[in-house]
Amino acid sequence: MLQLFLKIFFKVISKDGEHLAKLKYVAFMGAVNTELPAVGDFVALESYPQDTSLIHGVLDRKTVFKRSDPAGGEQLVAANFDYVFIVSSLNHDFSMNRLERYLTIAWYSGSKPVIILTKADLSDDVAQIVTEIELVAYGVPVFPVDNLSKRGFEAIEAFLKPSETVVLLGSSGVGKSSFINALAGEPLMKTSSIREDDSKGKHTTTHRELHLLQTGLLVIDTPGMRELGIGQASDGLSETFQDIEDLAARCKFRNCQHGTEPECAVQAALADGTLPEAHYSNWVKLKRELAYFERKNDPVLQRAEKQKWKAVHKALETQYKSNLKARKK
């Protein structure tokens, strides 16, 4: 199993223990980014424990966590995990919008999300925050914990079984490293303090790595990612905002844009307060982001977008010339 990616080399775990490996060039010649090994992958390995082993191929993945890369494509972050632990702290930096973004990515991965609220000792409104999260995170378990005292850890034991794998997602400073140390019962990860004025932390973890705990649990840690592109996660968006999808299905018109159309169930829910405005606004924002990504990466949609704006510019030019002629008369 691939444990760590070190630019040119990979750190792998096999029956011979931990050792370094590299790609067999012929096997991966012409491979695209998403076909290369990622942390958590099971690989076909030609093992040389005393030297550098060779990776011949990547076995089929059961789950994959991807993120958008700067070039507009997708980057693999982790693979073959059973649960996505979305880690958020109950301090000044808590963001429901960011939590919904992580949920979208988690559902899209094919795995099951679990929300971990760290630093529960810093909040006087833990129960209220949990209730608010449960209203928008349909059926997703929510667990407030304290990494230092390990209060709340007994509630998550069902997700920490030997031979299962969890991947941690969350911004820097939310306590992912401290959470891993608490799970392990020993200081596996370096931790750092956060700024008191805004509760923002440093990127203590700068790479993705898989940890095999003494309990048999596998934990994949990831660097803090505050802005996480949702890429092609249309299915994940539907899961995260299932309440809005259900409302939209009750609109009078199938192509309702939830604006001024009559008998719009979404607008009705906004008006009577059953649909929170912030929840709806974040859905609109993520839908637009998803549509932009799809246009950017689909040649057919790209051409359609160019033709649309070409028609708009032509109409504006025609209108301008018409107005100019009218003024001359």
Name 181's Cβ contacts closer than 8 Å, sequence gap at least 6: 147, 187, 188, 189, 191
Q: Are strands 209-212 and 218-221 parallel, antiparallel or unpaired?
A: antiparallel
Sign of CA dihedral 161, 162, 163, 168: positive
DSSP state, residue 142? E
What is the rounded distance in angstroms from the CA atom of residue 211 to the CA atom of residue 190? 13
**b/e for 216-234, b at 16 or more Cβ within 10 A?**
ebbbbbbbbbeebbbbbbe
Amino acid at 209: E
Known binding residues for Zn(2+) are 251, 256, 258, 264
Burial class (CB in 10 A: 0-12, 13-18, 19+), 6: exposed
> Binding-site residues, please?
118-121, 170-178, 251, 256, 258, 264
Binding site, annotated residues for GTP? 118-121, 170-178
